[in-house]
Amino acid sequence: MAPLLRPRSETGRGSWGAARPFSGCSDGVARRFVSQPFFLKKQREKWRGYWAPRVALYLRAVFQNDALLRAEVARRGVKGGLMKTGLLGYGKMGRAVEAQLLARGHEVVWRVGRSGRAGLTAEQLRQADVVVEFSRPEAAYENVLACLEAGVAVVSGTTGWAEQLPLVEAYCRAHGGAMLWASNFSLGVNLFFALNRYLARLMGAWLEYRPSVEETHHVHKLDAPSGTARTLAEELLAAAGRLERWALACGQPLPPEVLPVVSIRRGEVPGTHVVRWDAEADTLEIRHTAHNRSGFALGAVLAAEWLLGRQGVFRMSDVLNLEGP
């Protein structure tokens, strides 16, 4: 699909200047355009409230050269919006995801809270191109499976159901579905995962250093340790190659072949994760601290955008093009 507009350098009339995301520029174009005298008040309001976000997304897809976004825009058209999304789970994370979706010009076609999934039919599920699922551990398996059975791509961020996750992944592969699960959607945390794997490979041969993982979260978090801490521990074990397993440390000393994982629940902490390598002489430590939920929500929306049109089972490392475990 050829761009509607071309950079001035292609027409011999100068240059756009430094590269930048086009969505902000398109907002400025829209404001200047609707300020012209021939635009009536109602027309201005319709442009700002409906058309401007959709045109901005179209231009972003073109100028960022994202082939998948461009294909979806071509299929759906600017008028229909870029992505129809369903929200399974409408707590704090569900609302944060909704805010990011709307800010990026997407449409939320339905929202289902804790007790509403039982009445959601396959036909209603199919109203969405992608479902974003942030619910509870005991509900996640049925939620994700229902989406896959309806043929709808699903992005899941619920943790605490690791034993059932391989079952829905096998179903997804067998039936040509699309799903992406992540213990943490934050872009910073996924870079932290990659750093953790690299550091573990370096430290594996230095036996005087003993690793540990520590996570701190708000008192409302249901699972312990967090899904992010589990991912850090499992990837550390695989990369270091000299420990047998991890275990939740409850104040008792653990054998040297066991990786201790410490869980702390305090106040309203969004999430802090620390990986330490302790020796008698010194300590090496890497840390990620979340300041709010916006980073998690943005990552989930980016994952949903990326998943459009794909088939298979994916992780955030696929979205970000990072080396996997």
What are the boundaries of each domain within the chain? 21-76, 84-186+294-319, 187-289
pLDDT at 253: 84
Per-residue pLDDT averaged across 13-20, rounded?
Answer: 35
* Distance, CA of 275 to CA of 199 (rounded, Å): 10
- Lowest model confidence (mean pLDDT) among 103-112, 248-257, 271-280: 248-257
Q: What is the DSSP letter of 117?
A: G
pLDDT of residue 76: 47
> Residue 40: pLDDT band by 50, 70, 90 thresholds?
low
Give the residue among 108, 105, 106 at the shortest CA–CA distance from 52.
Answer: 105
| pLDDT in the model for residue 79 | 40
Residue 188 has a pLDDT of: 93
Is the predicted pLDDT of residue 140 greater than 90, yes or no? yes
Q: 84: burial class by Cβ within 10 Å (0-12, 13-18, 19+)?
A: middle
Beta strands in the chain (DSSP E): 84-88, 107-112, 130-133, 153-156, 178-181, 210-217, 245-248, 258-265, 272-278, 283-289, 312-314
Over residues 3-13, the mean pLDDT reads 39
Q: How many CA atoms within 13 Å lie on the side-chain side of 261? A: 19
Compare 12 and 277 and report the one with higher pLDDT.
277
Provide the pLDDT for residue 87: 96
Name the residue among 113, 111, 112, 147 with its Cα closest to residue 130: 147
Q: In this predicted model, which residue has the larger pLDDT, 22 or 41?
A: 41
Q: Is 84 a catalytic residue?
A: no
Q: Of the listed 41, 46, 106, 217, which one is catalytic?
A: 217
Say yes or no to pLDDT of 47 above 80: no
Per-residue pLDDT tens digits for 183-216: 899 999 999 999 999 999 999 999 999 999 999 9
Shortest CA distance to 224 belongs to which of 257, 191, 253, 247? 247
DSSP 275: E
Choosing from 221, 273, 288, 291, which is the catalytic residue?
221
Coil, strand, or helix at residue 72? helix
SS3 181: strand
49: helix, strand or coil: helix
pLDDT value at residue 3: 43
Per DSSP, the three-state class of 110 is strand
Stretch 126-147: mean pLDDT: 94
Q: What pTM, to 2 d.p., does this model score?
A: 0.68
Q: Which uninterrupted H or E stretch holds 35?
A: none
* pLDDT tens string 233-249: 999 999 999 999 999 99
Domain 187-289 has CATH 3.30.360.10: yes
In CATH, what class is 84-186+294-319? alpha beta
Task: Please tell me the predicted confidence (pLDDT) of residue 77.
Answer: 44
Show the tokens assigned to 12.
């011999």
221 is catalytic: yes
**E-assigned strands of 80-158?**
84-88, 107-112, 130-133, 153-156
